Structure 1
Amino acid sequence: MPKPIAGFSKLSKQEKIDWIVSNYTQNPHEAEQIIRSYWNTDEKLQQLHDEFIENTITNLYVPLGIAPNFLINDNLLAIPMAIEESSVVAAASKAAKFWLSKGGFKTEVLGTEKVGQVHFIFKGDTAKLELFFKKIKPKFYTATENLTASMANRGGGISNIELRDKTGDLANYYQLHCTFETKDAMGANFINSCLEQFASTLKSEALDYSLFSEEERQLEVIMSILSNYVPNCLVKAEVSCPVSELNLSKEISPEQFAEKMVRAVQIAKVEPYRAVTHNKGIMNGIDAVVLATGNDFRAVEAGVHAYAAKDGSYSSLTHASVEDGIFRFWIELPLALGTVGGLTKLHPMVKLNLQLLNDPSVEELMQVIAVAGLAQNFAAVSSLVTTGIQKGHMKMHLMNILNQQHATEPEKIAAIEHFKTHTITHRSVIDFLTGLRNQS
């Protein structure tokens, strides 16, 4: 068993590699060769990657694909998607192509408000705390002027600060619930810096407030941190067409297809087990673009799934209806993003991907990403209610299976041709390769 190591972060990159391969791999030489094979040949670029995080030993590549033909508010875009799962880019592209001739996607930003909170414990009279808050509220703004000046010049800043009584949920628990506009920045550092100053002002002012008792003056700040739940940072994306134009399958009529699509979404609205997988498919599209544009997909995931449960039960993020012969399919979800700061200015591929999207503002990027999620969900649910999900998925997965079995190029060509008319399973692909190899 390896021994714990002290000062790992202070080791050189090579020393870190030597330690990890010698202690945790069966073949240290082979492991080091794999690690080195993923280094960028451009030393300056590799150093840039090394400095993104701590204790870096190599890179883990994720394929970057392009989904073309997205008509969004009459602008034609090709969307970059970074993801390892097969069929996601193909499905999004298929949906984009289908809606291209039907007016494309229509989008609208409904809000851009972001949230942060100062959580504190106050053992005293709530009425006195409310009077205290009203008195010192202007000081929160003046104390952060040095932090907000640059953001204010761009049209952003602190929107509001309110005191919230949460003692019904937890004894003596209150919070400053703060809202912000951060324009094209994701704004995490800006928000957290403001919150920490709010906390400092809150504590210092409490010590000098004459109406507080000695115990009340010892107000205790627990933490100051932004929230990744941003229910008022919302975007909506929609597609629609006459039901008669929903000619996606030879197996069912457009009318039957529309009815099954609506039913499928209704099921995802009322059944959490289905809703989770339904929304995971949406996030396949969303996360791929969030990652490609250097944004925080973990924050987006957390906020989106919280929004899906906002009414007390986890439910579908998409909606579908048929009214007066018109099929509508739409999504509404929160997206806290940035197009300046962070990786957007550091990572060369991120900068290029944003360039491919015409260097969008945050609001424009919100709309593009919402469309990617809607397109992905339309493609997935369309497959589910017609041919089933596995036919298309396994077709895309075929190459992964062939690579796992170290198939040669001639074997891959033969397999692709064979499985145009045969069912693809892991076992059937292995059997086909075995037979092919036995023949030769």
Structure 2
Amino acid sequence: MTKKFYQLTAEERLNQLNLSAEDRAFFFEHQGKESAHLIENYLADFALPEGLLPALLLDGQKSMIPMVTEEPSVVAAASNGARMAALGSGFFSEKASQARLTGQILFHDVDQKLLAKRIEESKSRLFAIAKAAKPSMVARGNGLKSVAYRVLDVRHSVLELSVDTGKAMGANAVNTILEAVKGDFDDLKEQIAGAILSNAGQEALVSVSTKVPVDAVGGLKQAEKIVALAEFGQVDVDRAVTENKGIFNGISSVVLATGNDFRAVEAAGHAYAARHGAYRSLSSWALTDDQKYLAGQLTMPLNIGLLGGAMAALPMASKNLLLMGQPDLDRLKKLILATGLANNLAALKAVSGKGIQAGHMKMQARTLAIQAGAQEDEIAKVASRLAHETTFDQAKAERILGEIRTHDA
């Protein structure tokens, strides 16, 4: 009997593709044992570079931050922002975050008054059902914490279950609880559109702040320029999108490095940025009253975990947590947000100062050198020559590489 594509081994899938021997060998060399069990129709590993932010000061304690990203200058910007913040008190937090994830049972075309009354009267039973569905969570002090019924409009309403997920991100656990609780409404199954977790995470808000000496950013006038630029992120959607993208340069790279779901984190962040009806920057910056410090703050939902999911199957994720000093979940969340705020600070300083293009093009020179075929020590030589050019492209990189090889021959 012929196997279906998903039933094949990674090597068998590769052999079915119309590839040259050279290309087939390339993909085969990039296959890994762990990854083959993580996704469907696995073919090969796609590697991204990992850099290190060597020192980020949070609540008086320094941590190294691994960052996985393909974009030039992201790690350099985070390091620069962290350095400027450390000239003050670094980054700091005020309170512990919560590990809360909400699950929703979605109703349509029900008698909303009757359903609201029914839910209110059956809360103790719903808690019992949730406990029976995930008793181990309850034993750890986690599990279902609240039940709420919310009317959206005349046709649509939602039963929301707030679950303390502990050290795990908890998506599977929440969905298991939802399925169990949904069974209590079997008589309304035709009116239930679905039961699924929400990634919005507004019960899992995390905040970090910093106070940077104005001298660290180039003086009072430069600090005022940074504040003026940041204000555009609060009044213009287009500017806010770009500013938040810069924040997620830092956040997503650390989320990815720790084996967490960066897509869920970004979706929650963008939704939170639009919570008041208009999309705004997630960060805010202002001068302190004495004008000696530039104060920055970042708040957003952050649902991540230290257990389960891809983390258990990705050795690099556990090693990266080791690099970070094995932080507890609360500190990990705050380290991630502080990295995003560091990127934000560096970007605001660059854009409001000499401009961001010079730094970007310096990093782009390395990429062009690699694309031109430069090897090992040739990369730095080509990039250095390109950096002194007024404009450069791949053709110029190839010409410079040819000159270097002719000279070294």
TM-score bracket for this pair, using the shorter chain length? over 0.9
Cα deviation, 1:326-366, whole Å, max 9, x if unaligned, reads 32011111110000111222211111111112222221111
> Which amino acid is 1:182 matched to?
T
Task: Compute the displacement of 1:433 (Å).
Answer: 4.1
Q: Of the candidates 4, 14, 17, which is equivalent to residue 7 of structure 1?
A: 4
Contact 1:112/1:234 (8 A) holds in 2: no
Contact 1:123 1:219 in 2 (8 A): no
Q: Secondary structure at the match of 2:303?
A: coil
Distance in 2 (alpha carbons) for counterparts of 1:167 and 1:413: 61
8 Å contact kept, 2:105–2:159: yes
The within-5 A match list for 1:194-343 is: 194-203=177-186, 207=187, 220-243=191-214, 245-248=215-218, 254-324=219-289, 325=291, 326-343=293-310
Larger Rg: 1
Cα shift readout 1:144-166 (whole Å, capped 9, x = no counterpart): 22233211222211111112222
Residue number in structure 2 paired with 1:212? none
Paired with 1:103 and 1:162, the residues of 2 have a C-alpha distance of 41
Relative to structure 2, which stretch is displaced further, 404-413 or 76-85?
404-413
Match of 1:29 in 2: 21
The within-5 A match list for 1:287-436 is 287-324=252-289, 325=291, 326-408=293-375, 411-423=378-390, 425-426=392-393, 428-430=396-398, 432-433=400-401
CA distance in 2, matches of 1:328, 1:80: 25
What secondary structure does 2:223 align onto? helix
Aligned residues: 403
Q: Is the 8 A contact 1:261 1:385 kept in 2?
A: yes
Give the secondary-structure state (helix, strand or coil) at the position aligned to 2:34: helix
Cα distance between partner residues in 2 of 1:343 and 1:218? 33
Aligned equivalents of 1:74, 1:408: Cα separation in 2: 42
Superposed CA RMSD: 2.1
Amino acid aligned to 1:224: A
Equivalence for 1:19: 16
Deviation at 1:185, TM superposition (A): 0.8
Q: Could you tell me the percent identity over the aligned residues?
A: 32
Aligned to 1:160: 146
1:89 is paired with a residue of what secondary structure?
helix
**1:183-194 correspondence to structure 2 within 5 Å:** 183-194=166-177
| Shift in alpha-carbon separation, 1:411–1:189, aligned structure 2, 3 A | closer
| Secondary structure of 1:415's aligned partner | helix
Give 1:258 shift: 0.8
Structure 2 counterpart of 1:176, one-letter code: L
Where 2:57 maps in the other structure, the secondary structure is strand
CA distance in 1, matches of 2:319, 2:168: 18
Using the TM superposition, give the Cα deviation of residue 313 of structure 1 relative to its aligned residue in structure 2, in angstroms.
1.0
What is the CA-CA distance between 1:430 and the residue it aligns to?
Answer: 4.5
1:117 aligns with 2:104: yes
What is the alpha-carbon distance in structure 1 between the residues aligned to residue 37 and residue 105 of structure 2? Answer: 31
Contact 1:117 1:195 in 2 (8 A): yes
Cα gap change, 1:339/1:409 in structure 2, threshold over 3 Å: closer, same or farther? closer
Distance 1:239 1:61, change over 3 A: same
Counterparts in 2 of 1:123 and 1:239: CA distance versus 1, 3 Å: closer
Distance 1:236 1:51, change over 3 A: same
Distance 2:399 2:77 in 1: 28
Please tell me whether residue 86 in structure 1 is matched to residue 83 in structure 2.
no
Contact 1:394 1:424 in 2 (8 A): no
Q: Aligned letter for 1:335?
A: L
Q: Which whole-Å CA distance do the structure 1 matches of 2:347 and 2:396 have between them?
A: 24
Query: Which stretch of the first structure deviates more once superposed, 426-435 or 269-278?
Result: 426-435
User: How far has the Cα of 1:411 moved from its partner?
Assistant: 4.6
1:147/1:361 CA distance change after superposition, 3 Å: farther
Q: How many Å separate the matches in 2 of 1:79 and 1:435? A: 39
Distance 1:29 1:380, change over 3 A: same
**1:247 deviation in Å?**
4.3
AA aligned opposite 1:227 = S
**TM-aligned CA distance change 1:176 to 1:422, over 3 Å:** same
CA distance in 2, matches of 1:231, 1:348: 31
Secondary structure class of the residue paired with 1:71:
strand
- Indicate conservation of the 8 Å contact 1:106/1:239, yes or no: yes
| Aligned partner letter, 1:118 | I
- Give the direction of change, closer, same or farther, for the CA distance of 1:179–1:380 in structure 2 (3 Å limit): same
The more displaced of 414-423 and 366-375 is 414-423
* Correspondence for 1:180 among 157, 160, 163: 163
Name the amino acid aligned to 2:22: E
User: Deviations for 1:90-113, whole angstroms, at most 9, x for unmatched residues?
Assistant: 111122222223211112445443
Post-superposition offset of 1:431: 5.0
Structure 1: 5+ residue runs without aligned partners? 40-45, 208-216, 249-253
Shift of residue 438, structure 1, vs aligned partner: 7.6
Deviation sequence 1:36-87 (CA, Å, 0-9, x none): 2223xxxxxx322211111112111111111111111111111011111111
- The whole-number CA distance in structure 2 between the counterparts of 1:413 and 1:182 is 47
Deviation at 1:218, TM superposition (A): 6.5
Note if contact 1:120-1:219 (Cα within 8 Å) is conserved in structure 2.
no
- Mapped partners of 2:376, 2:326: distance in 1: 39
Q: Provide the C-alpha distance between the structure 2 equivalents of 1:166 and 1:411, rounded to a whole number of angstroms.
A: 61
Structure 2: runs of 5+ lacking an equivalent: none
Aligned to 2:40: 54
The code of the aligned residue for 1:162 comes to A
TM-score by length of 2: 0.92
